[in-house]
Amino acid sequence: MRRRWMAAVAVSVAGLLTLSACGGGDKQEGGGGQAAKKVEVFSWWTGPGEADGLKAMREIFAKQNPNFEFFDAAVAGGSGDQARALLSSKLQANQPPDTFQGHAGAELQGYIKSGKLESLNFLYDELKLKEVFPQQLIDQISVQGQVYSVPVNIHRSNVLWFNPSVLKDAGIDGAPKTIEEFITDLDKVKKAGKIPLSIGSQWTLVHLLESVLLGSLGTDAYNALWTANADWSNANVTKALENFKTILSYAGSPQDDWQPAAKQVADGEAAFNIMGDWAYGYFHNPPEGGLGKESHKDFDWAASPGTDGTFMWLSDSFTLPKGAPNRDGAIAWLKVAASKEGQDAFNPLKGSIPARKDADQSLYKDYLSWDLEQWANDKLAGSIQHGVVANDQWRQAITDAVGLFQQDNDVAKFQQALVAAAKNSGQ
């Protein structure tokens, strides 16, 4: 199965590279017959909610920059695994897009160390961005005093989405607060004849793992896993992985990606799904861009079990590659992504909260209002799957270990693989 998946990715990357090479020149005809320079914006925002948010920012960009033509180079696939594979090929071939999406944090370190990104200190100074972005976020996207990306949002990874009716029918009174309660409730749902836990493609299992590790270990011990000389072989990690094994035993059949897995919850086929807060936009947005479901009735949320009081965060950001064909156009896009107007247009649709501290909080209602409050008051932990704590090499090794574990359910081998992944991370 994994060989076929890797072959499919390789074919997809090769095909996309061919399309990129055949995409035409740098100019397209704009309104009134005037040539508008193409700005290639590379992302993985193609699904409901995220594509709506990108469209909203794109409209602002078009109004402010009539001399530039936005070229959407988005690559489908939740969490950006296929997009990053293609991006790596383009950068190695010295064919960068004008700007590309990346997760703030360790994910960008490889690009920075290999000299693929321009420093954006000039833009931060011009727009006074250090005054409007949280300091801890600036720290994550800086290397030796240089800032290399513009964050457009803050996401929460550790969210438990659930169907209130399915829980009620199974005799469950509210969301489980601990890992132990979660396992008990999963069993109750199974006995009631519904899918206890919906899951998507392999990356969603890494996403699940990070919440189980955090909920089992606690914030300080989880954060310590990403420090020098961290001990991945200890008994507490073993217990966390045993919890992961038990929780996975209640999972339904893997869906193609996170959206169909989340839909199983909204449709009442499954009780629980652990996914980031971008699921809110998918659940809540009108049917033309989402499911049009009603919160607290068709779906509800809580911190993933054992993690209340901790915000496992990630941030989508955009960069300026060295050698960008249209550097001025890329900078124009970065200014929209950094702006209050851009972030307030994007985030309510995406199901995320703004990176800026001065955004219009009245726009963030329901789940997003709760999210803003949690971000302001919770302890912080960084996401594995979404690039905060582990560089691409380390994250890929963890992904491979999860894939093997999904086949053999051997906790001892799984833990050994995670120990080796940490040792060989190069981080």
Say whether pLDDT at 261 is over 80.
yes
- Give yes or no for residue 10 having a pLDDT over 50: no
Q: Is the pLDDT of residue 30 over 80?
A: no
62: phi then psi, degrees, rounded to nearest 5: -65, -40
Q: pTM, whole model, 2 decimals?
A: 0.85
- Mean pLDDT lowest for which of 159-163, 349-353, 396-400, 405-409? 349-353
pLDDT score for 426: 82
Asked if residue 147 has pLDDT above 90, the reply is: yes
Report CA dihedral (403, 406, 411, 416) to the nearest 10 degrees. -10
Least confident of 82-86, 150-154, 237-241, 294-298: 82-86
Q: What is the average pLDDT across 219-245?
A: 96
Tokens matching residue 390 = 């582990």
Residues 145, 411: Cα–Cα separation, whole Å: 41
Q: Is the pLDDT of residue 18 over 80?
A: no
Q: What is the mean pLDDT of residues 44-62?
A: 93
Question: Are the CB atoms for 189 and 247 separated by under 8 Å?
Answer: no
N-terminal to C-terminal alpha carbon distance within the chain: 30
Buried b (16+ CB within 10 A) or exposed e, 361-385: eeebeebbebbbebbeebebbbbbb
146 forms bridges with which residues in the sheet? 143
Q: Are the C-beta atoms of residues 143 and 123 closer than 8 Å to each other?
A: no
> pLDDT digit string (tens) for 309-346?
999 999 999 999 999 999 999 999 999 999 999 999 99
